[in-house]
A and B are shown apart, each in its own frame.
Chain A
Amino acid sequence: MNCHRVQSLLSAYLDQELSSEERRLIRNHIFNCPVCAQCLEELSRIKKYLGGLEPPPPQIDLIDHFFSYKLHISDAVDSNPWEWCKRLTLTAACIFLFLLTSFHLFPVTNTNRSIAGQEVEYHTYDQFTTYQLVNNEQNSNVNFFLEEDETEEKKKKKKKIDDFYLPQHKALLPGIPVSSR
């Protein structure tokens, strides 16, 4: 073992945290090397000084202070209804602020409203020219319709209109409001 290696192990040697083999090697080295012996001497003196440090007396009675004061204060903060009120108010304020901001950022303008209105109108059956459709086909079917009773007639008309707007596959197209049927 060279001096550098020995000196890096001296602290652990002092603390008896080395294997017996390492301890033996270091003892041998120190016996012959005054530099490392001096280093060990100083390190052990430091260890001794630190071990002899007097514990400083606390300025207050820690235990008393803790159990009679600190603990109650922290408990009071946790269970104080005012504290909870504050938290609730803060949460409500946050939500309000969020809503305010989103309305401000995405306002309902007249253009938006009219577009929305148009779409709804377009898909509403009441607005279509149903009479025309029926009339166009009346030529071929008028006699047939006249012979049927009124309710049957209405049913057929409705079916025809449905077939016209929802042909073949009979599935709802995306974007057409279900409520309008």
Chain B
Amino acid sequence: MLQTETLSLVRTAPAPDVLEEFEKQVKTYEKAFYHFAYRLTGNHDDAEDLTQEALLKAYRAFHRFKTGTAFDRWVYQIIYRLFIDQYRKKRRRPFVASLDESPPYLDQEKPKEVPDHSKLPEDFALRHELGETIQKALLRLPEEFRAAVVLCDVQGFSYEEISNILQCSLGTVRSRIHRGRRQLREHLHPYLNGERGKKQ
């Protein structure tokens, strides 16, 4: 009864309080949502679509959202589900490679990348390049690993919160993060060594 009332409130046009409340919540987390979507999809167009779709879904199901529970985690969950359902099918993969293979672009970039780090004087340029390389490596991970690693390291959630968002067990979260990081380490190996060489 209560739910139907709230539903009709949401679905009909004049619902200023619900819309206001929703807008307030979204404004708090909008950047984080977009960041998550961007790290999952790897490009602005898909990230924007994904965020908007997720917000629309969240808005329509806002009556089901229990006040007092974490709004951000709820939306992260919607983003993740949408991503798995839709974007997995139409993702634009620049290459199809098994994870054991050495990625072609890293091979090409390696000779110029590693020495460059010691020469680049500007921190900004270095950070930008590092960001792009890491994003490429992230895109090579299986979607489930990518989401777990991003939620843990980029968004800073605990394992329990991540298991809540991804709807899987703590053990699965632990294993996904571990395997995801191990694969990232392999993909970024030359880069990690270059960095180390620079620092020492």
A positions within 8 Å CB-CB of B: 8, 10-12, 15, 17, 42-43, 45-47, 49-56, 58-60, 62-63, 65-67, 70-71, 74-75, 78-79
Contact = CB atoms under 8 A, between A and B. Distances in A.
Contact of B192 (A45, A51, A78): A45
Given A12-B174, A17-B174, A66 B153 contact: no
Contacts of A43: 181-182, 185
A78 B11 contact: yes
Interface in B1-33: 11, 13, 19, 23, 26-27, 30-32
A42 B188 CA distance: 10
Contact of A59 (B13, B44, B127): B44
Nearest to A45: B192
Contacts of A56: 34-35, 38, 44, 47
Given A12-B178, A47-B153, 7 more contacts: A11-B182, A12-B159, A42-B185, A45-B192, A56-B47, A62-B55, A65-B52
Given A12-B174, A75-B13, A58 B185 contact: no
Given A15-B177, A63-B27, A63-B30, A58 B195 contact: no
**Interface of chain A, main secondary structure:** helix
A51 B39 CA distance: 12
A59 B48 contact: yes
Given A8-B178, A43-B181, A55-B34, A50 B195 contact: no
A79 B181 CA distance: 48
B78 to A, nearest CB: 14
A49 B195 CA distance: 11
Contacts of A12: 159, 174, 177-178
**A55, A65, A75: most-surrounded residue (chain B CB, <10 A):** A55
A50 B51 contact: no
Nearest to B186: A42
B134 A50 contact: yes
10 contacts: A12-B159, A12-B178, A52-B127, A56-B44, A63-B23, A63-B26, A65-B52, A70-B55, A71-B59, A74-B56
Interface of B: 11, 13, 19, 23, 26-27, 30-32, 34-35, 38-39, 44, 47-48, 51-52, 55-56, 59, 127, 130-131, 134-135, 149-150, 152-154, 156, 158-159, 174, 177-178, 181-182, 184-185, 188, 192, 195
B197 to A, nearest CB: 13
Contacts of A51: 153-154, 156
B139 to A, nearest CB: 13
Contacts of A62: 30, 34, 48, 51-52, 55
Contact of B174 (A11, A50, A53, A71): A11
A11 B153 CA distance: 11
